[in-house]
Structure 1
Amino acid sequence: MRPIYFFWIVFAISLYWIGYLYQDFLMNLLIAGLLCVATFWLKDFFDRYVKLNVLSSFLCVGVLLAFLIVPLYFVGHKSLKFILDLDMETFSFFLEKSKTSVSRALEYFPALSSSVDKILSNISAESIMTYIVKFGSYIGKYSLNFVKDAGFILVFLFFFFYYGRKIYNYMLGLLPFEISQSRSVFAEINGVLRVVFLTSIINVILQGFAFGAVIIWFGYDGFLLGILYGLASLIPIVGGALIWIPIAGYEVYVGNIATAIFIALYSLIFIGFVIDNLIKPVIIAFIKQRILKTPLQINEILIFFSILAGLSTFGFWGIVVGPTITAFFIALLRLYQNHFSDKQDW
């Protein structure tokens, strides 16, 4: 057996066992690596003013962590304060009044009235609080997993920042391509991830501001609901509906039908359609053309749909995974076209 064949057999076996050994950390490593690629410009910025590599790496992780921790802390603090200040008698009165209103509305639908009345009879302030406590325990359980994964991602992210340039140079030498070819592939992926990262941040801020600036005129906490709406916009499929539907429902309950219709239409048409589907591709095109130094050859509409595909397939982290897979595939096609294909003009 030729040594090279034996090497590839042994390498494939060792690669399998490496994947099996670190399977619980592979997604965290992937997310940390992609975040590092998307935000390595932060490292370049801090390196201009901070000479210690370890300090600049910590600063990069701290800045990214602040984007996540500060809004969540504010929302958690406000939510906890609301629960602690909740008057059970007022809540019980509100609930009973709501049940009475629903029962009266269903008098026009006799077929539904009996079944709905049975459901309403089992609903009380105590049962809802019990459900909230039980739901909170589930949230706490999954929050622990999220915190654990986020902790590993932050640790891996720090090391990727710290050793980023060495890893990049090592990968350039490891790949069986010319250095210029490898650089073009990495530059394409890096550019797409930067576009996606900046677009996601701008989209969250834009949607949150658009909702908060309007909802404040109806007597709500525009700052809190704006943050909640912006964070909810990152959730696949449902997005900001988690915020505006309960508010519109409450406005219907208190009799402000026009206000409820306005909030629903404003959220669906202006925020959900105009901002998310029309303005977002424009933002992608602007960032691609004006902010990136390296021009990308991937259409902004394709980047937009790769984000949607990533969200539907991988959930929240599909924001970065989907565009990465798309950019890598297209970069390989372009590499083949330019350097390995006999037909250079197709």
Structure 2
Amino acid sequence: MELETAVWIAISLVVLYLVWETISPIISPIIIAVTLAYILYPLHERLAERMGNRASAFVMTAVLTVVTFLFIIGFALWINDVKSSLAGYINSFFTWLLTLNLPPTVYELLQRLAQDIPRRFEEYVLGYTYSLPKLSLQAIVMVFSFYGMLVNTRVIRSEVYSILPPENRELAIKLIEKAGETLHTLLRGWLSVSVVKGIMTAAGFMLFGLANAGGSIAAGIFTVIFELLPVFGGWVVWLAGAVYLMNTGNHTAALLFALYGIAFISPLPDIILRPKLGTRERGVNSLISLVGIFGGYIAFGFVGIIIGPVALSLLTTLVEEWKEIKERNVP
């Protein structure tokens, strides 16, 4: 009996290893597909009431396919300009930030980020620039995974709940709910609005002639990064653009761009959208989200922005549950 158990354990380990080796090269597009499906699922539900589940998923997947195709074209055309502009923006920002009187620990962290972010971005760019077929293949995986997630969401949900262990079912449900709260705050609220602000920033930079297409896209990416940070926000980017226009002597353009930034980037969108989407603190603590975002990024790359906060939120749930159990056992 012990030999049979050992054999089945060995077979299971071999199968798990083969499965991991199979999906590890495409884990990033799968995570992106799951993220997009989670963000857009409320829209899918509304469309499914009118045209059916599969038709709604097909329409949304078709739109995503067109957007992805345009992204690949834009990637091929502008990636070098984006890389150069983003590196320049990051170097300028960290050069200014490191001149401030900061605690040694914060200073060391910023120094590491100043070196790591451009290097990591350079690796991503080089990895895809010389292998556009790889990018196209990952895009295909993302599109099909997105469709599968939308069509089978209810089945996946029921299957997940069906395999929960009966003896720890309450804890497992708490973990699932905590992950849902974190994803709701981080993705549907925080990250979605940040991406929209980044798009508006890129459009503003092009409209007011602050940069070419690559530089404008880099400014949009920088806005998303700032929106993920406490204290900072998208206002830093449009303020820098307005100051630049002011220094060139174009005061009217600087004023108009500042008004554009206030109305479409920050703070007016926050005032209007925050009551509807919830604050950053609901479902995820600010400190946990900050540590999770940067720690996840350093460990897993750009998909770590999603993995990190969720993992830390689940850890806090486990700690809270352990404390409750300990308190109940105290006489």
| Consecutive unaligned residues in structure 1, runs of 5 or more | 83-135
> Normalising to structure 1: TM-score of the pair?
0.56
Alpha-carbon shift at residue 152 of structure 1 (Å): 0.9
Q: 1:330 to 1:9 in 2, by over 3 A?
A: farther
CA distance in 2, matches of 1:4, 1:34: 41
Alpha-carbon shift at residue 187 of structure 1 (Å): 2.4
Matched, 1:320 2:321: no
Task: Quote the sequence identity (%).
Answer: 15
Conserved 8 A contact 1:188-1:296: no
CA distance in 2, matches of 1:297, 1:4: 45
Q: 1:282 to 1:337 in 2, by over 3 A?
A: farther
What is the one-letter code of the residue matched to 1:58?
F
Conserved 8 A contact 2:182-2:283: no
Conserved 8 A contact 2:29-2:138: yes
Residue 154 (structure 2) aligns with = 165
Matched, 1:59 2:59: yes
Residue 140 (structure 2) aligns with = 151
Residue 176 (structure 2) aligns with = 186
Residue 45 (structure 1) aligns with = 46
What is the one-letter code of the residue matched to 1:162?
V
> Normalising to structure 2: TM-score of the pair?
0.58
Alpha-carbon shift at residue 57 of structure 1 (Å): 1.8
Alpha-carbon shift at residue 188 of structure 1 (Å): 1.9
Q: 1:325 to 1:67 in 2, by over 3 A?
A: farther
Q: Render the CA deviation track for 1:7-55: whole Å, top value 9, x for unaligned.
A: 545433332232234433344434433443444333323222222x322
Q: 1:159 to 1:24 in 2, by over 3 A?
A: same
Q: Render the CA deviation track for 1:86-142: whole Å, top value 9, x for unaligned.
A: xxxxxxxxxxxxxxxxxxxxxxxxxxxxxxxxxxxxxxxxxxxxxxxxxx9986424
SS in 1 for 2:17: helix
Q: 1:224 to 1:30 in 2, by over 3 A?
A: closer
Who wins on radius of gyration, i.e. which is larger?
Answer: 1
Q: 1:315 to 1:13 in 2, by over 3 A?
A: closer
Alpha-carbon shift at residue 330 of structure 1 (Å): 2.8
Q: Render the CA deviation track for 1:51-75: whole Å, top value 9, x for unaligned.
A: 2x322222333455566555776x5
Conserved 8 A contact 2:178-2:313: yes
Alpha-carbon shift at residue 221 of structure 1 (Å): 7.1
What is the one-letter code of the residue matched to 1:150?
A
Aligned residues: 264
Residue 200 (structure 2) aligns with = 209
Q: 1:46 to 1:54 in 2, by over 3 A?
A: same
After superposition, the CA RMSD in angstroms is 5.1
Residue 318 (structure 2) aligns with = 332
Residue 311 (structure 1) aligns with = 297
Alpha-carbon shift at residue 287 of structure 1 (Å): 6.1
CA distance in 2, matches of 1:325, 1:279: 32
Residue 109 (structure 1) aligns with = none
